[in-house]
Copies of this chain bind each other. A is one copy, B any other.
Amino acid sequence: MYEQLFLLRNYEDRIYYMFLEGIMPGTIHQSQGQEACAVGVLFDVRKEDYMTSTHRPAGHCLAKGVSLESMMCEMFAKANGCCKGKGGAMHTGDISVGAIPAVAITAGGMPVAIGAGLSCKMRKTDNVVICFFGDGASNEGAFHESMNAAAIWNLPVVFVCENNLYGASTHINQVIKIKDLAERAAAYGMPGYVADGNDVLAVNKAANEAIDRARKGKGPTLLELKTYRRCGHSRNDACGYRDKQEEKEWFEKDPVARCKNYILQQQLAAPVELEAIEKKVLQQIDDAVAFAKASPSPEPQDALLHVYA
């Protein structure tokens, strides 16, 4: 798990730097600080399980097994990106590993998860669907319609709300009146739980219970993970709307550092082992960047392909 956390963090940091350098097109929505959510939830899922994601999909996709190279190529708008340069950051995905291309419409991926859940059920598989969304998304109509459908049809869907306290610049307390978003599950007759989204083990445990229920045909769960963005909402966001004290407190709960400390404290691995892992990951990222830079761009006219399957 630490390897994955470290990968997510450094992949996104690297993207960020390249973005600042101006060598990367488009826009970015990053998830540094939220890595434990993606890794904890997805660590034990199968390749055949599906996942829907959001405008902030990089962590989810890496954790679901989308190849680092193909993601990096997509970020560089290359022809061999996971979406052939057609999708871009906000639509990252790879259906061959169950990562449905991300939907950048807030909560717009949630009804899609219902369809994937129906599909898993109707085809009589025991695969499940992980549906990621944010705190802000929970105020969309699509959230409501999806939650209710999953509940009444007892679908194998795990709804994972990464509550990072903000929807863009808006604090969640300004747009809901309840304490925990997990409470909303009750409105659908669905179980709802809260977990510490910065503790990868806690996330993993809560997620695995929900996944297990779903796999066994016992229906959906809403899992609210309390977490925080270390980065801005999108590029060029200095987070002027956030309280500095709040930032400080959350930054101290960094999920990557926390996992590392835990491993070292519990002596689950020696420092050198972790260093070796880190070195390997950084090398992988370097390689991916080099590979992406060397990869061919699509031809302009390729824009006309793939409108229809």
User: Could you list which residues of chain A lie within 8 angstroms of chain B, going by C-beta atoms?
Assistant: 139-145, 148, 151-152, 174-178, 183-184, 186-190
**Interface pair A152/B140, CB less than 8 Å apart:** no
User: A36 to nearest B CB, angstroms?
Assistant: 26
Separation of A183 and B190 alpha carbons in the complex (Å):
13
**In the complex, residue of chain B having the shortest beta-carbon distance to the beta carbon of A174:** B152
**In the complex, residue of chain B having the shortest beta-carbon distance to the beta carbon of A148:** B139
Contacts of A187 in B (CB 8 A): 178, 183-184, 186-187
4 A-B pairs with least C-beta separation: A141-B141, A177-B189, A144-B144, A187-B187
Task: Tell me the interface secondary structure of chain A in the complex.
Answer: helix
**In the complex, residue of chain B having the shortest beta-carbon distance to the beta carbon of A189:** B177
**Interface pair A145/B141, CB less than 8 Å apart:** yes
Within 8 Å by CB of A148, from B151, B176, B186, B188, lies B176
User: A14 to nearest B CB, angstroms?
Assistant: 38
**In the complex, residue of chain B having the shortest beta-carbon distance to the beta carbon of A144:** B144
Contacts of A175 in B (CB 8 A): 148, 152
Contacts of A184 in B (CB 8 A): 187
Separation of A140 and B145 alpha carbons in the complex (Å):
6
Give 13 new A-B contacts, CB below 8 A, not counting A141-B142, A141-B144, A176-B188. A140-B144, A141-B145, A143-B144, A144-B145, A148-B175, A152-B175, A177-B188, A178-B186, A178-B187, A178-B188, A183-B187, A184-B187, A187-B187
Within 8 Å by CB of A177, from B143, B152, B174, lies B152
Separation of A151 and B178 alpha carbons in the complex (Å):
10
**In the complex, residue of chain B having the shortest beta-carbon distance to the beta carbon of A178:** B189
Separation of A130 and B222 alpha carbons in the complex (Å):
32
**In the complex, residue of chain B having the shortest beta-carbon distance to the beta carbon of A173:** B152
User: A304 to nearest B CB, angstroms?
Assistant: 35
Separation of A190 and B178 alpha carbons in the complex (Å):
9
Contacts of A177 in B (CB 8 A): 148, 151-152, 188-190
Separation of A142 and B139 alpha carbons in the complex (Å):
10
Separation of A184 and B189 alpha carbons in the complex (Å):
10
Separation of A151 and B187 alpha carbons in the complex (Å):
15
Contacts of A186 in B (CB 8 A): 178, 183, 186-187
Most buried by B among A140, A143, A183, A188: A188
Contacts of A144 in B (CB 8 A): 139-141, 143-145
**In the complex, residue of chain B having the shortest beta-carbon distance to the beta carbon of A151:** B177
Separation of A187 and B177 alpha carbons in the complex (Å):
9
Separation of A219 and B59 alpha carbons in the complex (Å):
40
Separation of A145 and B142 alpha carbons in the complex (Å):
10
